[in-house]
Amino acid sequence: QHRIASMNMEEYIFQIEVPEEEVMEIKNGQRKQVKRNIYPGYVLVRMDLTDESWSCVRNTPGVTGFVGNSHHPSPLPLDEVEKMIAPKELKKSVKPEIKLVDFSIGESVTVMDGPFATLPATISEIMPEQAKLKVLVSIFGRETPVELSFNQVQKI
């Protein structure tokens, strides 16, 4: 947007949009609201396609390619653009879902809550939709599967 102003392209380039969504991220047992790009590497630009505006966008640092061919970009249909931007508006009213989980299968954790508190366990399954893990706890020499929520375990 600074480049548009510095090159006097305001009358040709109207809007720049990076579709993002807010998600809940769990890292080190802490929940945190973060913004993530829905389409990493893509930027939507609403503009009148002239030689000058095309040159401005094409020669912007960091721009490596376009939808369409490299000599002439293909405009996206309006309904596709609305679908790309609309989820951002709809998700504001819906509780953000947990997208990124800072656990991996096979990782060792310590159970922090419940009857198996203080016991070491190994993650066998991750269920981000339910914010739960299936872990194997070693009891009397046998591994027993136990389902726990993310906040009931801690990384070792």
Between 66 and 153, where is the model more confident?
153
Least confident of 28-37, 88-97, 135-144: 88-97
> Which residue has better confidence, 121 or 32?
121
Tell me the HSE value of 104 on the side-chain side, using a 13 A CA sphere. 2
Q: Is the pTM of this model over 0.95?
A: no
The mean-pLDDT minimum among 18-22, 99-103, 152-156 falls in 99-103
Biggest CA-to-CA distance, the chain: 74
Q: Binning pLDDT at 50, 70 and 90, where does residue 70 land?
A: low
Reading the block at residue 100, the tokens are: 């990124």
Pick the CATH number of 103-155 from 2.120.10.30, 3.50.50.60, 2.30.30.30, 2.60.40.10: 2.30.30.30
Q: Would you say how long the chain is, in residues?
A: 156
Domain spans in the chain, listed from the N-terminal domain onward: 2-99, 103-155
